[in-house]
Chains A and B, each alone.
Chain A
């Protein structure tokens, strides 16, 4: 039972344009969401998070949007840079049930110069 889904295994974007990565979840108990970025041969690195009491959180070029009614979140990267090329994982948690994260399968982003 895949509670967090990233339906696009890959995404290719031109440098300078917007990258939009999508994530859907099924468990309505999830109330905290995160995005991690992973380069080859490295562990995932935290990127940005959002609590369910918000619908948007911004950090520099990265913005996460949360649509609770649709059980959908997205990560926007503007402008995209070649160094953003990596695998992006979304993850969800139940805030008061410890740090257990449920990850999606990942989306591989390729930003072309």
Chain B
């Protein structure tokens, strides 16, 4: 158990809809990361938050947004969903915002857009 909790585990929805993925980081970790893993692909970095502030951004679509709340949990919002958004979405957390700090991953949320 990594200590990172992601909910829900599975999500099935239709094209055009909006969903929210939730992540609770490990106790004491200030940094949260979101990654997307599509079929047969590696993990693609989406966005990083550190102590409530956006720290780094990857190739995140404009239809996607995220935030980190004062209690440090994070939410990833996906809107106007398309078939191609079907993927595994992972959240990770680390104690600080540096690459040398180990990122601990949750078990992921599997999103299926039908």
Contacts and interface: CB of A to CB of B under 8 A. Distances in A.
A45 interface: yes
A32 B48 contact: no
A66 interface: no
Interface stretch (B13-21, B37-45, B61-69, B79-87): B37-45
28 contacts: A32-B99, A36-B105, A41-B107, A43-B2, A43-B105, A44-B43, A45-B2, A45-B105, A46-B103, A89-B42, A89-B43, A95-B100, A97-B56, A98-B48, A99-B31, A99-B33, A99-B56, A99-B96, A99-B97, A99-B99, A99-B103, A100-B45, A101-B45, A101-B103, A103-B35, A103-B42, A104-B42, A105-B41
Contacts of B97: 98-99
Chain B interface residue bracket vs A: 20 to 34
Contacts of A98: 48, 50, 55-56, 97-99
A67 to B, nearest CB: 20
Chain A interface residue bracket vs B: 20 to 34
Contacts of B50: 98
Contacts of B99: 32, 93-95, 97-101
B37 to A, nearest CB: 9
A46 to B, nearest CB: 5
Contacts, number: 78
A75 interface: no
A2 to B, nearest CB: 8
Contacts of B35: 101, 103
